[in-house]
Amino acid sequence: MSLTFFPTKDMKIVGLDLCAAAYIFNTKLDQDKLLVRSPHCTITRGSLRTLQSRKSVVNDMLILLACMLAGNSTRIHWFLPTTFSQIATGRGPIPHATLKAIREDFMGKANRVCKFDH
């Protein structure tokens, strides 16, 4: 595979990490190739490529981040998917299964949540 990803020296990406970056950011490979499957989103090569500088990050990447953070959380802090903002702003009907999945996968008990004042 030709290298289409050239890290800067301060990135310090070598070995397998460099191979993974080259595989993800290779513009000649199928951008619709599924690379990460999650219960709440699917991540393609094209989705991951939105992590490049000066690109808008797609919704699925934000949902994946919420999934990863929630999975490592003690549930005192909530990391909610972008779907939650649709619920909070009342943008259309939300299926019961979606609400249940968000509650079970991303939220802890309300009496144990840390409140952040700004």
Q: What is the pLDDT of residue 29?
A: 92
pLDDT tens digits along 61-105: 999 998 888 887 777 777 888 877 777 777 777 788 887 888 888
Comparing C-alpha atoms, which of 56, 62, 55, 57 is closest to residue 41? 62
Q: What is the pLDDT of residue 93?
A: 79
Give bridge partners of residue 50 from the DSSP assignment. none
Tell me the average pLDDT across 11-21: 86
Element at 42 (helix H, strand E): strand 42-44
| Strand, helix or coil for residue 104 | helix
Longest dimension (CA), the chain: 53
Q: Structure pTM?
A: 0.69
Banded pLDDT at 56 (limits 50, 70, 90)? very high
Burial class (CB within 10 angstroms; exposed 0-12, middle 13-18, buried 19+) of 16: exposed
Q: What is the pLDDT of residue 113?
A: 53
